[in-house]
Amino acid sequence: MTSYRIALLPGDGIGPETMAATQIVLDRVVAEFPDIQLDCQSHRAGAELYRETGETLPKNVLDACLAADAVLLSAIGLPDVRQPDGTEVQPTMMVGLRRALNLHSAVRPVKLYPGAPCPLKDTGAGIDFVIIRENLEGLFASFGGGSMVGDEVATDTLVITRAGTSKVVDYAFQLASRRSGRPRDGQRKVTCVDKANVFRSMAFFRKIFHDVAAKYPEIEHDAVYVDAMSLYMVQNPSDFDVVVMENQFGDILSDLGAGIVGGLGLGPSAEIGDKHALFQPSHGTAPQLAGKNVANPLATILSAGMMLDWLGQTHQDANCIAAAVAVENAVAEVLSQGQVRTPDIGGSSSTTDVAHAVAGAIHAAV
């Protein structure tokens, strides 16, 4: 029996509801897989807390995240809760947490499940690729900095380092070596997305990509420009397997990725470091839906599935890997049956109904 300490940050808006739904699913996982024990501790962090106390992420909560085996976060931030400089609390808190946990690689699966709404007419051989976004530098390295010349000119700086880029590209190749499923053929592939024809920083990113690719001769690799990638994601999404890119490009293309496979309510994500990892849905707090039991919990549930997979890979725990597969299969089953779904994907079920449907579809034997 292995016990994992999980720090839960339910956050703001719809966050607490999608987290409660996910806990229903995790309770079922623990019941179906008796060799897995999850010691989940919930902590307050985010905009509501800031409104009350002036702090978004108290030190004891950050310490709990650092001490945990994994962090599961729902959604943070409220548009009407602002810091003295006028900005929302969410970016400050998330950049701080990322830096504290050294989460260098963000992972956004772009996978179309049968039964999920898709705005594309022709998805070719299906959609099943993963966006890996560098998570600590790039244009976001300028966060909190930048410079102004009077009220006339503003600049930010895009930083690409060999160390940071090697880490994220290496993570992309490692994921490509072990991940299951790619629609078109059996050949694994990693694609570098950049703007190497225009920017020195991006040319450097691509150079490091090629250096790292040389260590993985069994994996195909290629590179495309970010503008072309935006087109290909809509026209030929089945061409891709793992794609890796600079922070800001990843931020933008991740939302496009969520859009082609059913919207934000279905998009999970992981942020991975050498020691720590954090999992969260790709959507925000959708405050207008909060408290109504209508938010789609599937993105948070799928993020919890990614957490189980990461725990399994990191601790070489086959039970956890099997539990991750069971969670994803249960979500796929509920989506393909089509009866229980929230309004954002065309249904009329509640957040809680979806949680119970997914929990009921968890089976230990796959």
Site residues (vs ligand ATP, CB under 6 A): 14, 77, 90, 264-265, 283-286, 288-289, 295-296, 299, 342, 344
Find the shortest distance in angstroms from Cβ 191 to ligand ATP: 25
Closest approach, Cβ 88 to Mg ion, in A, equals: 8
> Does residue 281 touch Mg ion according to CB under 5 A?
no
Tell me the window of 139-147, 189-197, 284-292, 318-326 that interacts with Mg ion (CB under 5 A): 284-292
Q: Which residue has the tokens 């399994």?
A: 312
Residue 15 makes contact with Mg ion by CB under 5 A: no
Which range binds Mg ion by CB under 5 A, 34-42, 152-160, 279-287, 357-365?
Answer: 279-287
Runs of H (alpha helix) within 214-297: 226-235, 247-260
Of residues 180 and 288, the one with the C-beta less far from ligand ATP: 288
The pair of structure tokens assigned to 261 is: 């496979």
**Which of 36/354 has CB closer to ligand ATP?**
354
- When the beta carbons of 229 and 302 are compared against ligand ATP, the nearer one is 302
CB of 255 to ligand ATP, least distance (A): 8
Query: Which partner in ligand ATP, Mg ion, none is near 22 (CB below 5 to 8 A by kind)?
Result: none
Among 265, 268, 284, 297, binds Mg ion (CB under 5 A): 284
DSSP-derived 3-state class of residue 283: coil
Token pair recorded at residue 3: 């016990």
Between CA 204 and CA 348 the distance in angstroms is 49
Q: Which is nearer to ligand ATP, 116 or 175 (CB)?
A: 116
Nearest alpha-carbon partner for 7 in 302, 321, 276, 190? 276
Q: Which is nearer to ligand ATP, 248 or 319 (CB)?
A: 248
CB-CB neighbours of 245 under 10 Å:
30
Q: Which is nearer to ligand ATP, 191 or 254 (CB)?
A: 254
Coil, strand, or helix at residue 140?
Answer: helix
How near is the Cβ of 18 to ligand ATP at its closest, in Å? 6
Closest C-alpha among 111, 104, 72, 70 to residue 242: 111
Bridge partners, residue 9, by sequence:
73
Residue 88 has what DSSP assignment?
B
Helical H runs in 179-246?
A: 200-213, 226-235
Torsion of CA 225, 230, 234, 237, to 10 degrees: 50
C-beta of residue 336 within 8 angstroms of C-beta of residue 113? yes
Q: Looking at beta carbons only, is 262 or 284 nearer to Mg ion?
A: 284
- Near Mg ion in 31-90, by CB under 5 A: none
Tell me which of ligand ATP, Mg ion, none is bound by residue 344, counting a contact when its beta carbon lies within the kind-specific cut-off of 5 to 8 angstroms.
Answer: ligand ATP
| Amino acid occupying residue 77 | G
Task: Give yes or no for a contact between 113 and 298, defined as CB atoms under 8 angstroms apart.
Answer: no
Binding site for Mg ion (CB under 5 A): 284
